[in-house]
Each structure stands twice: as C-alpha cells, then as structure tokens.
Amino acid sequence: MDTGKMDTNELAPEHAVAILANDYSFSYPNCSPVLSGLSWEVPEGSFQLMIGTTGSGKSTLLRCLQPALSPAGTQTGLLRVWDQVRSAACRGEFDPCVGFVSQSPDNQLVCDSVWHELAFGLENQGIDQHTMRKRVAEVAHFFGIESWFNKRTDQLSGGQKQLLCLAAVMALRPRLMVLDEPTAQLDPVAEKNFLHALFRINRELGVTVVVATHNPEAMVDYATSAVCLSDGKLGPVDLESLRAGVSPVESLRRHVVKDGPVHVRARDISISYPNTSTLVLDRCSLSVQAGSLHALVGGNGCGKTTLLKALAGVLKPRLGQVDNSALAHQAYLPQNPKSLFVCDSVAEELKEWQNACGYTDEDWLAWADRFNLLSRLELHPFDLSGGEQQQLALAKLLLTQPTLLLLDEPTKGLDAQAASNVAEAVLAYIEAGNTAVVATHDMTFVQLLADRVTLLFNGQDALTQTPDEFFADTIFYEPKDNLFAQMMEHVSYANKWAKTYK
C-alpha cells in the first residue's frame, strides 16, 4: 500500500500531461477541416510556443481547449485537458482549469475599474466574500498591481491593461494558461514586462502555458518547447531556430535622402492631453524632407501618435505651428485600421474612393492581387485577419495617390509575411518620390526603410539622425535580423532584379 502510493507520487510529475490530442480534427460548418488528424502532447508545467501562419488554425485549436469559447463545428478524435475530454457535448460550459487571454487589451476588459476587473471572474463563479478578497489581494500583490488598484481601466496604458487581463484570469486559479498573440498590441518594453509575468506564473506557480505568437524570437528565452501548426497538423520546432539571426540588417533604400525641400514642418509645437494641462508634446519640432521616409520612435505615450495627428492637421497645437504643403493630399493609416472601414465587403472598401480619386477597376484589383485579397473580396473587412485588415487599409489609402503618407505603427501585431507586404508597398511608394512619416516601435522597419529617425523623448524631439547613425551605439533600440528582415531581403533582390532587366 505504502509503496504503491510512493510510486504514484514519484511518477506523477513525470507523466502528468496537461494537454493530449490524438488524431484530432475540427472543421467549421460547411468548410474543409481546419485541423486534421492532429496529435499534441503538452507536459504539465511546460511553456510552449505555437507558431504558424495567419489562418493556420492556431486560434481555433486554442479555443477548443476552453469549452466556453470553442467554436461551433464538427470534431473527431480525442482532445483532453488533464482528464477532461473536450467533446461536442460540453461546448459552452466553462472550465475553470483553463485560463484564456487574447490579443486586444481594450476589448478584453469588462469593468470600469481595476479592482472590479480582478473580481469579475470570481463574482461570476459565485465565490464568497472572504475567498474573493483573498484571491484579489493575492494576484494584485503578485503582479504588482497595488499602486494602480484604484484606477479606472481607461486610465491604464496598453501594457497595464494586458497585465490586468492576465491577473484577472489568474485570480480564477487556472492550471493551464492559453494565450493567443497576447503581446501583439504591446510595445517592446510592455511586451517584456508581460512575458516576465507569464514566466513567473509558469515557473513559480507551476501553471502550464501555451502561447500562440507571430513573434517567437521575443519569447524563446522563456519557452521550454515550441510547435508549429501547418496544414492542420502540429510539428515540433527547435527553439534555437526561432531566435533572431545575427547578421546586420541593411537598409533597402537605393539612395538615402539627405537634403531637400521640406515637405512638412512642425515648429515648437505644444499639445496637451484632452481635458488636462499635462503636455504630451512640449515645444517639439520636426522637419520632413520631400521624398523621404521619416521615422518617429520612442516609448509608449511619448507623443508619436499626437505628433502625427498634428502634422495631419487634425489636432491643433496649443503653441507653435505646423506647415504641411500636402495638407489636401495626404493619407493617414491609424493604429487600428478598423476606423477606416465603412463598407460591407473588401471590394466595396477598395472601390469606396474610386469616384473621388478617379482610379480604375484594374487599379484596385491590382492592389487586391498584390496583397492576396482576391479570394477575400466578398468578405466583410472585419472578418479579415489583423494582417489582412492592415494591408486592405494601406491599399485603400495608396489608391488615393497621396503625396504624404502618415503611418501609425504599420507593422504592429502583423506576422512576418503581412509585415513584409506592408513594408514592400511603403518602400515602393517612397521610391516613387513620395513622402512618409511613420511612428513605430519596429526598429527593423526603421533600419530597412527610413531616411531619418527622430527620437521623441520627454515631449520633445530629442534627436534626429540617419538610421545608421542612430543605431550605431544603441543597446535596446536595435534592428533585429528576424523573419521579417529576411523576407524583406528577398523582396529587395526581387525588386533589383526586376529593375535591372526591365
């Protein structure tokens, strides 16, 4: 009897399997299978990365783990989370063992205050007052939320919001934490912060973690294993192969614009946050030369978006002035492309400004082809993936033939393929002699495409340099030799080839 007990105790950690899938298939109603004959085993306590292209079914698979979120469709084979089998019958039932965090920090928050957000899940479960207080206090302490516990959720930064989402789920004491692109909307610092918290949950609290991501190189150090989902099947991936390369990233510009007429200029502008006297920009200046790509970099809340809007003439500075010679011929790509979509289908969206701008059907079809949207023309823009939405928005703007393009985080949250499509289009746009101002956290993008970089810090333009000068002695702001950079290299070869032989 005693020995038997000892045996199970000894064996338990070795054999405990958090997720087990065997010949598991899933298909949406009237569609071909998204997942087919998939096998998967995640040992308890592991930190697994899941990669795969957009539309490979990562989200579907992850949602199937939490029956409350599992999509409608037919499934065959076995999917088990510990000893609970995920069958069609249990769809819609909530399993407290599985925590789920998705991409958007804003849309995941339910309540107006931080404390209520933390308590929300516990309230749903009808947990008594004492337990609830204990758990809320515990997670608030663990994640260091005490200092902003009494704040309203709309006062938080994106990073804080996402951390709050994680904490609110952790208050429910899940044993498995499933995350779908949790850091896609975060800036690099907030991303690191979030990953640290995730790492601590995994190693200190022993929670099994599965993360789907487009950006594995940031997470490699935390992970214990990685898998890739393609053609409906999972295959193992070597963690080391996911690390960023070491070769330097070279600019793709044929000739960097050094001097030229100034297209857009801001002179000592000051702008404050709405309804406050706190200044976002404090006597900030900027000169953008015609035909150049000017990148704005800096931490979260340093005023990059505010400066872009001021240049576009939609935010009036309290002091100073903006001269924009392209004021009537500009286009602005916001952080969230949804604010640009008005129509019910992708095709209508691309045709929307056809009368006003006089482009032909061939023009917009060419853009749809270039961004692989031809098969999506009938879909609603909101049904596209994040990357496709971004490409659609960019195509829509470029069709208006603006002479000035203002881009706010054009590659944020995109997979390498989508990011390189966007970057390629922007490159072609600049090479044609147009001007662009880009606010971004993506240093690789800056190194590849920019003529000038302005670092915004403390409300001012701290310095303006060429990318080579700027990246010469930085330790954190650094272009990475990631998949995006490697894809862009091929793009540039293809471009050069096309140009040489035309």
Partner 1 sequence: MQMLERTHPLILMVYMAGILILSMLALEPVYVMLSFLGALVFGACVRGWCETFHFIRWQPALVAVIALANLLFSSSGSTELFRIGVRAFYLESLVFGLCMGVLLVAILLWFWDFSSLLTSEKVEAVLGNVAPVLAIMITMIARLIPQFVRQGEEIDEVQRACSAAQAQAHQPTSQPPFRHTSSRHTATRHTPSSFRFRQISVLMGWTLEDSLETAQAMKARGWGYARKRTTYERYVFKKSDAVCLLAAALLFLACGVGVAVAGQQFHFYPTLSVVWSIWYAFAAVLFCVPTVVVMRGRV
Question: Whole-number minimum distance, CB 359 to partner 1, in Å?
Answer: 10
- Cβ neighbors of 141 (< 8 A, separation 6 or more) are none
**Nearer of residues 252 and 286 to partner 1, judged by Cβ:** 286
Q: How many CB atoms lie within 10 A of CB 201?
A: 23
Question: Whole-number minimum distance, CB 406 to partner 1, in Å?
Answer: 7
Question: Whole-number minimum distance, CB 360 to partner 1, in Å?
Answer: 12
Amino acid sitting at position 487: M
**Nearer of residues 37 and 313 to partner 1, judged by Cβ:** 313
**What dihedral do alpha carbons 313, 405, 458, 285 form, nearest 10°?**
-60
Q: Please say whether the beta carbons of 357 and 335 come within 8 A.
A: no
In order, the DSSP letters of 423-488 are: HHHHHHHHHTT-EEEEE-S-HHHHHHH-SEEEEEETTEEEEEE-HHHHGGG-SSS---B-HHHHHH
Question: Whole-number minimum distance, CB 177 to partner 1, in Å?
Answer: 11
Q: Which residues pair with 19 in a beta bridge?
A: 42, 81
293, 333, 372, 389 from 430: Cα distances, Å: 7, 15, 22, 22
**Nearer of residues 340 and 443 to partner 1, judged by Cβ:** 340
**The total number of residues written for the chain in this structure:** 502
Question: Whole-number minimum distance, CB 315 to partner 1, in Å?
Answer: 7
Question: Whole-number minimum distance, CB 313 to partner 1, in Å?
Answer: 7
**Helices marked H in 148-240:** 158-170, 188-205
Q: Please say whether the beta carbons of 195 and 183 come within 8 A.
A: yes
3-state secondary structure of 338: helix
Question: Whole-number minimum distance, CB 227 to partner 1, in Å?
Answer: 22
Question: Whole-number minimum distance, CB 411 to partner 1, in Å?
Answer: 18
**Nearer of residues 9 and 129 to partner 1, judged by Cβ:** 129
**Nearer of residues 406 and 414 to partner 1, judged by Cβ:** 406
Backbone φ, ψ for residue 481 (5° rounding): -85, 65
Give the β-pairing of 176-180 and 98-101: parallel
Helix axes 483-500, 416-431, angle to 10 degrees: 40
Question: Whole-number minimum distance, CB 380 to partner 1, in Å?
Answer: 9
Check the CA dihedral 247-253-254-255 and report its sign: negative
